[in-house]
Amino acid sequence: MRYKIVFFILFASFSASLYAQTETKNIRIVDTLTPQEKKSRNPILLQSEIDSLIKLHEAGMVKPIIREPVKEEKSNSNNWLLLVAAVTIIAAGLLVGLFFQQRKQFAQISENLIRQLRQLEFHNNVSANGNSNENAQKQISDMQTKTRDLNSRLEKLKTENESLNTALKEFGRAQAEYETLAKAISKTFKVKKYPGVSERKSDIETLINLFETEQSFTAHVYEQFIKPVTSIVDANKNNPAGMNKEQQEKLLELLISLSLLYIEYLYLRVNELSVGGNMVQRISDIKNGLVLNPLLLKKLNTQNGSRALVLRIALEKINLQHLSYPVFEETDLNHR
């Protein structure tokens, strides 16, 4: 009987230990562990372990393919401007060639004139000594006629030479004005970081690209912002107090979006401001007529401080959730 009691006690204690080992516990996620939890932390996961698992999962995910914007074919204005530049250079070369050719002719005529004058002086000396005859007189008359012809040609060449000198001076002045303009543009714009600028392009192509960007940006601002704002204002100019809430919100949204777009565009003008991120790509997309790509923007960080967060909170206070141009500090204000 005593052995049975001992056996029963052993069996009960063994069963209790098995039950304790198979007891289920809920999983908790914490930032730190107590000394007791560190000893028995099998069902507990650190936040860093969860983060590493998430990173491993994201690494296996397929990233969306970003399509490159289709480049717009260059307009014929480039060809015309390049053609004008080529014609100008060719004309300058022709002027220089004509100038040297006229100088060569001038030297030849001067040499012939000097020779004729020497012959004329010789015949005059012969006539003064009483040794002239009819042939000498005829030669003298011919020499005088040739001398008059040479003098007239010499005067004509002088006139042409003055005209060529005037043309060369005008060309030099135009070249100096072009260099001054190029220097002023380089001070006004960040030409090296401007959309479409490449080291393989010439100075003329760079300037053409810069002016085309200016024109396309202005046209985009007018069509997307200035024109709708003017339409809303004209529609309510006779009764400003009667503007409905939808028009008020649209007017405010257009003005804020336009200011954000111009803030980003002015970064290409002020040399003290640094250009980073995909700013140049966005301006180039506007030039090509493409829609803003949200994949090139950062998400709004609501955990840490940022300038974009300040602007987003201010927009929420006036109940403005969506902007036509939501870019500020490389951040997409429309999506958190």
Q: From the first residue on, what is the mean pLDDT of each consecutive set of 10 residues in the chain (336 residues)?
A: 53 51 56 70 66 72 56 57 76 77 76 73 58 63 78 83 84 82 76 74 80 87 92 91 90 92 84 78 79 81 81 89 88 82
User: What pLDDT, on the 0 to 100 scale, is given for residue 122?
Assistant: 63
User: What pLDDT, on the 0 to 100 scale, is given for residue 251?
Assistant: 92
CB 204 within 8 A of CB 77: no
What pairing do the DSSP bridges indicate for beta strands 331-332 and 327-328?
Answer: antiparallel
User: What pLDDT, on the 0 to 100 scale, is given for residue 279?
Assistant: 84
User: What pLDDT, on the 0 to 100 scale, is given for residue 12?
Assistant: 55
User: What pLDDT, on the 0 to 100 scale, is given for residue 207?
Assistant: 80
Coil, helix or strand at residue 16: helix
CB 166 within 8 A of CB 172: no
CB 256 within 8 A of CB 249: no
CB 268 within 8 A of CB 196: no
pTM above 0.75, yes or no: no
User: What pLDDT, on the 0 to 100 scale, is given for residue 173?
Assistant: 85
- Residue 17's alpha-carbon distances to 11, 21, 75, 235, in angstroms, are 10, 6, 85, 84
User: What pLDDT, on the 0 to 100 scale, is given for residue 90?
Assistant: 81
Tell me the H-state helices in the chain: 2-21, 35-39, 47-60, 76-128, 134-188, 203-221, 227-235, 245-266, 279-287, 307-317
User: What pLDDT, on the 0 to 100 scale, is given for residue 136?
Assistant: 63
CB atoms within 10 A of CB 172: 11
* First CA to last CA distance, the chain: 76
